[in-house]
Structure 1
Amino acid sequence: MEDIEDVIASGAPPGLRLPITAVRIKPRRKSNARLVPDPIHPSPQIPGIQSIYMKTFGCSHNQSDSEYMAGQLHAFGYGLTNNPEEADLWLINTCTVKSPSQSAMETLISKCKDAKKPLVVAGCVPQGSRDLKELEGISVVGVQQIDRVVEVVEETLKGHEVRLLSRKTLPMLDLPKVRKNKFVEILPINVGCLGACTYCKTKHARGHLGSYAVESLVERLKTVLSEGVKEIWLSSEDTGAYGRDIGVNLPILLNALIAELPADRSTMLRIGMTNPPFILEHLEEIAKALRHPCVYSFLHVPVQSGSDAVLDVMNREYTVSDFRTVVDTLTKLVPEMQIATDVICGFPGETDEDFAQTIALIKDYQFPQVHISQFYPRPGTPAARMKKVPSAKVKHRSRELTSIFESFNPYKGMEGRIERIWITEIAADGIHLVGHTKGYVQVLIVAPQSFIGTSTEVKITSVGRWSVFGEVIKVPKEVEGKVCQLNSTAAHSPASITCSTKSGSHKTAFVLCDCSSDLECCSKTIETSKDKADNKHKEAAGPCTGINGRERTLISYISSVLQKRRVNGPDRDNRDAIWKFKNTKEVPNRSIRVDLNTLDKVLLGGVIVSLVVIFVVLTLLCKTFSS
């Protein structure tokens, strides 16, 4: 089937619902001539009442595209669900960078067909591989056609196969958007790139460089700031190439965006991935932007190989010396500078000597983040026709480099430092909150969910390989009056909180929920004595009720069970009730408090009754045998 070209005159609002006649459609063929009800596509369809399941693969740019598509579908009344079984249609946004991502897409397409669900496939795979067998009979929408996803969904629900792949203009930035994280805006500044890497399939999909105007990006920044966004990621296939097609450059854009950021540093800017060739001439200006208080001192600069011979075959258009110049200059000019990089193991023609040079480069810099991948030949690329390195050797090199990288301790020496962090999300464990330092070091803290979207000061208590742990020492001004004031304590002990109440002030180990409007503490908090030898527990004064040592043993055990159930169960989002302090080292007699809901109280009551019954039965048995 031929691609469906745009038929709206220039100037029409992107995302506008088009009449059916504006889209050429291909009805699905029926296996017989009789008119029978179609269980998959009941007719007639009422547009805008169905639910959509969306799955996104790939980079942050893909994530932004998905958020734009979700926004348009939501604006037209469609529901968005995380449950594929209850959805009326599946929408898969694909990535073509690696074989595993495409294989995962193919598996999901197969599951969708088995579930007899209508399907729309978007993203780089259909755009870069239009004749892919797996896409036969499936509606597709290209990377520059995301503003017309509503049309594609509507026609697909009616049983039609729709293809929208070709366009010469970029989607508008002011389309409706549903962010995955309401505090993080992924802002695409350009699409495509100027490179011609021999292994890359993305350019087949995203095309040549196309940059958004500085004015458009500034307006978008102002809009998202008014919506409460606290972190802005500049995203593209190559941030450093921005503007070369429209007569500007990345430093010009950065200066314009930085000028609009709040002076109180409540919102931070993160510069996206950039290849070395296009920032070499702007290094000092880039460094100046990275030093700004509202810009993370972090940059993702892929090297891919430590061998000039391999870089030449890759057609990367820079040398290892160029890469070192980028890293050395930024590290010298930007305090706390953190640089992440990428490496491909086993590229065609890579010798043992080439790989040894890569190892030497990684050892020299000990980058905190290195994305290590094995070479995957992408159909249609020059590298796919090159002689491959044996698979066993590729896997061995990947494991060896990974082992070397994991031996580094990039955050050593951070213990005890006071850092300002910006908190934007909940950690995968469902317990900690995730914040980042100015250098974009990930910091895990224990705090109420109300801290998300704020910045605060923390003391680094311990460091791990991938992140560090911090202790909040200052309540963010945005939540002052909602929580008690946090005060740091000795190393490896829970944070203490000073609670100002009607009966005076006192300290407790920590609270598990926000305090009330009059700053009274939540009930049943525990304070552990510093004297661990006598293991005495003080009772908190005022409205904070103490718990004695015997009760603590039972409740500590039960609370751990309840917390695990809550984190892994349906109440996972109710994290304000789980202020669980977690360190890399065990702390004897750690204070624990549980904020029980109704079900928890029933379970706890059942446990207590069971224990009482067992005790009574054992007592009666003992009396019987003794008599």
Structure 2
Amino acid sequence: MEDMEDMLVGGGAPPGFRLPLMSVGLNPKRINNKKNLKRNDHLITTPSPDIPGTQSDSEYMAGQLSAFGYALSDNPEEADLWLINTCTVKSPSQSAMDTLIVKCKSAKKPLVVAGCVPQGSRDLKELEGVSVVGVQQIDRVVEVVEETLKGHEVRLLNRKTLPALDLPKVRKNNFIEILPINVGCLGACTYCKTKHARGHLGSYTIESLVERVRNVVADGVKEIWISSEDTGAYGHDIGVNLPILLKAIVAELPSDRSTMLRIGMTNPPFILEHLKEIAEVLCHPCVYSFLHVPVQSGSDSVLTAMNREYTVGKFRTVVDTLYQLVPEMQIATDIICGFPGETEEDFAQTLDLIRDYKFPQVHISQFYPRPGTPAARMKKVPSNIVKKRSRELTSVFESFTPYEGIEGRVERIWITEIATDGVHLVGHTKGYMQVLVSASETMLGTSTDVKITSVGRWSVFGEIIIDETPYKIKEETLSNKMKSIPEICLPCSADETCACSGEPEPCACSPVSFGGQNDVDECNISCGVDEENNMNITGSLLTKRKGSEKETTEGQGSKEKQIIVGTREKMGFVDWALIGGMLVSFTTIVAVLLLPGLRTAL
């Protein structure tokens, strides 16, 4: 096995991705000389959408295991191995990991722990006797699982190169590709444990990212989510920047807007370098007018203590500029309540910032001291005050009605998900407003126009607008085709499709105009017997109908096809003239036949 020395217990060094807590149960069974592993959905926690890269790495690990012949299990008790994917952003995430590890050990199941926790804190007591795989070694997760199933304890943590982007992947949502553009960051926030795990910035090349975009678009992906610890920092280590990358990606998106791009989280310092260029990209028809820009606090003194490398004024510049330059722009932000040293005045400034902008999305969290970070050594704000401030900020945020007054508006949405209620589908507008619609699951992966019918605090409800134009034949279209329409329409037999069924296609039984009457609106003839109206005329004459008038057939039951005739409310001049002509002809025939007899008699 390549580099097996790296997998010896006790070896390795930090950094890596930041991941959410997840777990996968593996149940190996030999089928066609491959192991069949099933997914343990009961232990999978939904990744937090505000944590960069939370889903992408899990999808890559699941994809590699599946490609090797494993399936993912539904039953944790039947699984022979658990794989837990961890996040070190907050203490509750690590606590949940600890609980799962205890449960797994109690069940005497082999265990592999991946993600930020083992990468950044490899000496944790909870990880003793457990196999671990580093976040930049996810391309070797199969090796770790194989060795663990053999009874070996494996630790693979050494940082080498970035994992390839074309690894097998099992997407949580088939329509959404989560695309990591870099790992690590350039910041040094005093509260952040993730830096210990992920290390310094490492960016993928533009060529590799563009190639990945081409491939996933060809696979039918409808949304591409750019993922990163700090999107704005992309390329600083390889001599390029985010606008260059975004323009290259946008150039690969289909012009029919069937695939949309969502730009990931970016901190203020780096986006300030390219603000107008970013705004230009956000205006592109294939890019959601949405950006996640964490502010963390409305107080400059707190931002300084956090080592965030920007001021509230710079954050406001970012927001004001994007709102000014990008139509329908929506911005989400993050707030940490109760950071060490935060005073009531500091917190009041945060409340004022949120009130000023009324952001539709604010991720509010209480401060959690992470071991080994500078903030963990700072004087803490009493926990009761932290909780009080968190509740107050939440109350202020929930008092906003960001979508008020848009009822009746028509919006284009891209539908990619099923709502948690299992009834509605979830779509997003160009400005990334969430719209819930009642529709068939066949609408997933499509875009459509909707009319906003009602507004909620977190999302809006809409009705899909059905374009009836294709189902109607315009008057001018019919007029152009009148000359080629036959004057006789034959009835349908019991075992064939009716040509007079009124389908959207031009009907072969379209009414024929006589005497210049060609004001026909649409083809709506139906085949069958009219039991309500008696026919007042026979022949091959098909005339315009009015109101609810129907057509019928003569001589049904005969093997020979009969002629369809129509009923009318009123006979016109041309009709009387035709009947008169028929009478004259009949009289002439009678006269010709009787004339010899008359002469003989005379």
TM-score (norm 2): 0.73
| 2:442 counterpart of 1:455 | no
Stretch moving more, 114-123 or 50-59? 50-59
Q: Which residue of structure 2 lines up, in the alignment, with residue 48 of structure 1?
A: 35
Give the superposition deviation at 1:101.
0.9
- How does 1:277-316 map onto structure 2 within 5 Å? 277-316=269-308
1:288-312, CA deviations, whole angstroms, 9 ceiling, x for partnerless residues? 0000000000000000000000000
2:208 aligned partner, one-letter code: S
Q: Which residue of structure 2 lines up, in the alignment, with residue 584 of structure 1?
A: none
Q: Indicate the SS of the match to 1:144.
A: helix
Check conservation: 1:25, 1:160, Cα contact below 8 A. no
Q: Which residue of structure 1 lines up, in the alignment, with residue 524 of structure 2?
A: none
Between the aligned partners of 2:316 and 2:336, the Cα distance in structure 1 is 17
Give the superposition deviation at 1:502.
7.5
- How does 1:57-456 map onto structure 2 within 5 Å? 57-58=47-48, 59-456=51-448
Q: Percent identity?
A: 77
Give the superposition deviation at 1:24.
4.5
1:161-204, CA deviations, whole angstroms, 9 ceiling, x for partnerless residues? 10011122100000000000000000000000000000001111
Between the aligned partners of 2:447 and 2:29, the Cα distance in structure 1 is 52
Give the superposition deviation at 1:82.
3.5
Between the aligned partners of 2:44 and 2:141, the Cα distance in structure 1 is 15
Check conservation: 2:52, 2:264, Cα contact below 8 A. no
1:226 aligned partner, one-letter code: A
1:228-257, CA deviations, whole angstroms, 9 ceiling, x for partnerless residues? 000000001000000000000000000000
Check conservation: 2:223, 2:259, Cα contact below 8 A. yes
Check conservation: 2:52, 2:265, Cα contact below 8 A. no
Between the aligned partners of 1:505 and 1:461, the Cα distance in structure 2 is 31
Between the aligned partners of 2:463 and 2:272, the Cα distance in structure 1 is 39
Q: Which residue of structure 2 lines up, in the alignment, with residue 548 of structure 1?
A: none
Between the aligned partners of 1:396 and 1:455, the Cα distance in structure 2 is 43
Give the superposition deviation at 1:226.
0.7
2:180 aligned partner, one-letter code: P
1:302 aligned partner, one-letter code: P
Between the aligned partners of 1:51 and 1:122, the Cα distance in structure 2 is 18
Q: Indicate the SS of the match to 2:72.
A: strand
Q: Indicate the SS of the match to 1:181.
A: coil
1:314 aligned partner, one-letter code: M
1:560-612, CA deviations, whole angstroms, 9 ceiling, x for partnerless residues? xxxxxxxxxxxxxxxxxxxxxxxxxxxxxxxxxxxxxxxxxxxxxxxxxxxxx
1:94 aligned partner, one-letter code: T
Check conservation: 1:211, 1:245, Cα contact below 8 A. yes
Q: Indicate the SS of the match to 1:137.
A: coil
Q: Indicate the SS of the match to 2:255.
A: coil
Between the aligned partners of 2:30 and 2:216, the Cα distance in structure 1 is 39
Q: Indicate the SS of the match to 1:80.
A: coil
Q: Indicate the SS of the match to 1:79.
A: coil
Check conservation: 1:416, 1:461, Cα contact below 8 A. yes
2:172 aligned partner, one-letter code: K
TM-score (norm 1): 0.70
Q: Indicate the SS of the match to 1:222.
A: helix
Check conservation: 2:6, 2:156, Cα contact below 8 A. no
Q: Which residue of structure 1 lines up, in the alignment, with residue 594 of structure 2?
A: none
Between the aligned partners of 2:308 and 2:87, the Cα distance in structure 1 is 21
1:421-479, CA deviations, whole angstroms, 9 ceiling, x for partnerless residues? 000010000000000000000000000000000000000001100000000003799xx
2:302 aligned partner, one-letter code: V
1:121-165, CA deviations, whole angstroms, 9 ceiling, x for partnerless residues? 000110111101111100000110000000000011111110011
Between the aligned partners of 2:350 and 2:441, the Cα distance in structure 1 is 42
Unaligned runs of 5+ in 1: 1-5, 9-20, 28-39, 482-499, 507-627
Between the aligned partners of 1:357 and 1:50, the Cα distance in structure 2 is 53
RMSD: 2.7
1:48 aligned partner, one-letter code: K
Check conservation: 1:455, 1:476, Cα contact below 8 A. no
Give the superposition deviation at 1:111.
1.5
1:377 aligned partner, one-letter code: P
Between the aligned partners of 1:41 and 1:402, the Cα distance in structure 2 is 43
Check conservation: 1:41, 1:159, Cα contact below 8 A. no
